[in-house]
Amino acid sequence: MPELLVADLSRWQFALTAMYHFLFVPLTLGLSMLLVVMEGAYVMTGKEVWRRTTKFWGTLFGINFVLGVATGITMEFQFGMNWSYYSHYVGDIFGAPLAIEGLMAFFLEATLVGLMFFGWDKLSRPAHWLVTFLVALGSNLSALWILIANGWMQNPVGSEFNPDTMRMEVTNFMEVLFNPVAQAKFVHTVSAGYVTASVFVLGISSWYVLKNRHLGLAKRSMAVAASFGLLSALSVVVLGDESGYALTDNQKMKLAALEAMWETEPAPAGLTLIGIPNQAEHKTEYAIHIPYVLGLIATRSLDGEVEGILPLVAVAEDRIENGIRAYTAVETLNDNPNDVKAREIFEQTKTDLGYAMLLKRYVDDPATADRATIEKAAMDTVPNVALSFFSFRLMAGIGFLFIAVFAVAFYFVSLKRKVPRWFLYLALYSIPLPWIAAELGWVLAETGRQPWVIDGVLPTFMGVSSLSATQVIMTMVGFTLLYGTLAVIEITLMIRAVKLGPGARILPQGVGGGGPDTHSDAVPAHPRTIQFDK
């Protein structure tokens, strides 16, 4: 039995490093795509302003990209470091997408990103565009593979427990690959990245317009961001993450928790717009209901039922009892792999094996658990309802806001209207919002899956390494200091690069800057200069 304190600390450490890593990922995903669009315009029109626009956003991309790379190494290694039993238990399935991510995606983006920054004078225009495209492709493919891995944690298809090796093993790789939860997550996450980059570009361009600087670059960037952003914002909401929520008991639990729906309602269920979930008393106070809506969204039908939290807890109780039989059978097989009777029981009950392990929080041998302990363990399958409920509402609210923002931006841009100042300010101050929404999305996805690290298969506390609390605290302090320092440096450099603007002399690095432009429409590298592009 692992130590619960170590498990909690390891969870905090994972949350800290993953959420920090994800500050950089969405912008990389989206901005790389926007660079492809902008550089595409340069290749097709040959206009210098598009080249300068691409290089400017490329500089910001570079500052952001390195921290994504730097913090990504931690992600790849800390499964083994902090989640050793998890790595053993599911490495046969979970390791594959991670390795494929390296071979198919990381190599591509990391090998070519150097040419993207340094290859402007060494490559033809189309060849350089191709390099930019392949970097964007690599980033987006890496999202695909890591979400196939994460999707499997949420919906562990195509695999089963092997008592000979005491771990989960793959039985059908295609099911892992085409896991519907993974597909939904991929579209949702990538679209969210595109929204993030669009908001970023729109906001900074708005600031330039407000300051009356770099107008040619700003207007063109706004046009690209508005159209790309509108499409992405629609996609992120419409193709939300919820489509997979009807698949398994635990996915159903996540849905019920984020809706704070304690009991099953007659179909189609109503949606609780807002309220205050009370986990101790199993009710939601001050709830405002909208009839029918949830049933329609969650089941895409009028008669599909959305199950409530408490009925799902009752299901979990049954599965725990079944799981105890599986656990006992595995113990027998461990001593004698040829025990036919135990093998038979195991085959009948193996899908509930993970449920018996929920009892390990309270008893060493699940077979000795009494009724009260089983009930307590079943109640553990309910995640933190209030956290799920509020993070979902805030995230979704921000999502809808973005549709409005981009629709308005698109209106101004496509009709070539002068953009009013209030909107420019709105766009500028919206810059932090996509990051907040993205982080909340992960909070929902990962805390909503608790107490499982692999839904229904392995409880989170079982997955940790045999470390001491001191060791975990040491690395956590180390990461916090290192990451904190780098965040300050990163943001400072980013703001500095934005203030200096395109073609700045003092910013000679990366794609951007590139030193003062020697072309006819180049701007003097003076921060105060107002720029009129052709």
Partner 1 sequence: MELPLDYATLKVLWWGLVGVLLIGYALTDGYDLGVASLLPFVAKNDKERRLVINSIGPMWEGHQVWLITGGGALFAAWPYVYAISFSGFYLAMFVVLAALILRPVGFKYRSKRESATWRTSWDWALFVGGFVPALIFGVALGNVLQGVPFDIDRTLRATYTGGLLGLLNPFALLCGLASVAMLVVHGASWLVVKIEHGHVMNRAAKFGQIAALLVIVFYAAAGIWLAVTGMGYRIVTDMDPNGVANPLRKDVVVEAGAWLTNYGKYPWMILAPALGFIGSALAFVGLRNKTSLSLIGSGLAATGIVASVGTSMFPFILPSSINPNASLTVWDSSSSHLTLFIMLIVTVIFVPIILAYTAWVFKVLFGRLTTEEANAPGTY
By CB under 8 A, tell whether 88 contacts partner 1: yes
**Considering only residues 16, 18, 19, 104, which one is a binding residue for partner 1 as defined by CB under 8 A?**
104
Spatial separation of the C-alpha atoms in residues 128 and 110, rounded to whole Å: 15
**Considering only residues 47, 125, 141, 169, which one is a binding residue for partner 1 as defined by CB under 8 A?**
169
Q: Which is nearer to partner 1, 76 or 265 (CB)?
A: 76
By CB under 8 A, tell whether 115 contacts partner 1: yes
**Range list of H helices, 259-384:** 293-299, 309-335, 340-349, 353-357, 371-379
Query: Looking at this protein, which amino acid is placed at residue 389?
Result: F
Q: Site residues for partner 1, window 333-352 (CB under 8 A)? A: 334
By CB under 8 A, tell whether 465 contacts partner 1: yes
Stretch that binds partner 1, among 165-173, 187-195, 253-261, 409-417 (CB under 8 A): 165-173
Minimal distance in Å, beta carbon 69 to partner 1? 5
Stretch that binds partner 1, among 36-44, 117-125, 201-209, 228-236 (CB under 8 A): 117-125
For 117, the token pair is 């920054």
Minimal distance in Å, beta carbon 281 to partner 1? 38
**Considering only residues 229, 399, 502, 510, which one is a binding residue for partner 1 as defined by CB under 8 A?**
510
Phi and psi, residue 285, nearest 5°:
-85, 155
Spatial separation of the C-alpha atoms in residues 324 and 354, rounded to whole Å: 9
Minimal distance in Å, beta carbon 371 to partner 1? 25
Minimal distance in Å, beta carbon 111 to partner 1? 3
By CB under 8 A, tell whether 103 contacts partner 1: yes
By CB under 8 A, tell whether 81 contacts partner 1: yes
- For 167, left (φ over 0), alpha (ψ -120 to 50), or beta? beta
CB of 28 closer than 8 Å to CB of 68: yes
Query: Looking at this protein, which amino acid is placed at residue 179?
Result: N
CB of 13 closer than 8 Å to CB of 78: yes
Spatial separation of the C-alpha atoms in residues 131 and 116, rounded to whole Å: 6
The footprint of partner 1 on this chain (CB under 8 A) covers a number of residues equal to 82
User: Which of 37, 35, 18, 27 has its CA nearest to residue 63?
Assistant: 27
Minimal distance in Å, beta carbon 81 to partner 1? 5
Spatial separation of the C-alpha atoms in residues 524 and 87, rounded to whole Å: 55
Q: Site residues for partner 1, window 425-444 (CB under 8 A)? A: none
**Considering only residues 9, 29, 108, 374, which one is a binding residue for partner 1 as defined by CB under 8 A?**
108
By CB under 8 A, tell whether 301 contacts partner 1: no
Q: Site residues for partner 1, window 486-505 (CB under 8 A)? A: 486, 489-490, 493, 496, 505
What DSSP designation does 382 have? S
Stretch that binds partner 1, among 191-199, 208-216, 256-264, 468-476 (CB under 8 A): 468-476
Stretch that binds partner 1, among 38-46, 120-128, 374-382, 448-456 (CB under 8 A): 120-128
Map residues 269-298 to x or -, x wherever contact with partner 1 holds by CB under 8 A: ------------------------------
Q: Is the peptide bond before 432 cis (omega within 30 degrees of 0)?
A: no
Phi and psi, residue 516, nearest 5°:
-60, 135
By CB under 8 A, tell whether 150 contacts partner 1: no
In whole angstroms, how far apart are CA 23 and each of 26, 404, 491? Answer: 7, 24, 11
By CB under 8 A, tell whether 514 contacts partner 1: yes
Q: Which is nearer to partner 1, 421 or 505 (CB)?
A: 505
Minimal distance in Å, beta carbon 500 to partner 1? 10
Q: Site residues for partner 1, window 392-431 (CB under 8 A)? A: none
Q: Site residues for partner 1, window 172-231 (CB under 8 A)? A: 173
By CB under 8 A, tell whether 114 contacts partner 1: yes
User: Which of 274, 283, 278, 351 has its CA nearest to residue 320?
Assistant: 351
CB of 502 closer than 8 Å to CB of 54: no
Stretch that binds partner 1, among 113-121, 213-221, 394-402, 428-436 (CB under 8 A): 113-121
Query: Looking at this protein, which amino acid is placed at residue 248?
Result: T
Spatial separation of the C-alpha atoms in residues 48 and 38, rounded to whole Å: 11
Minimal distance in Å, beta carbon 175 to partner 1? 12
The residues facing 289 across adjacent strands are 272
Q: Site residues for partner 1, window 53-72 (CB under 8 A)? A: 62-63, 66-67, 69-72
Cβ-Cβ contacts under 8 Å for 454 (sequence gap 6 or more): 86, 89, 90, 152, 153, 156, 168, 354
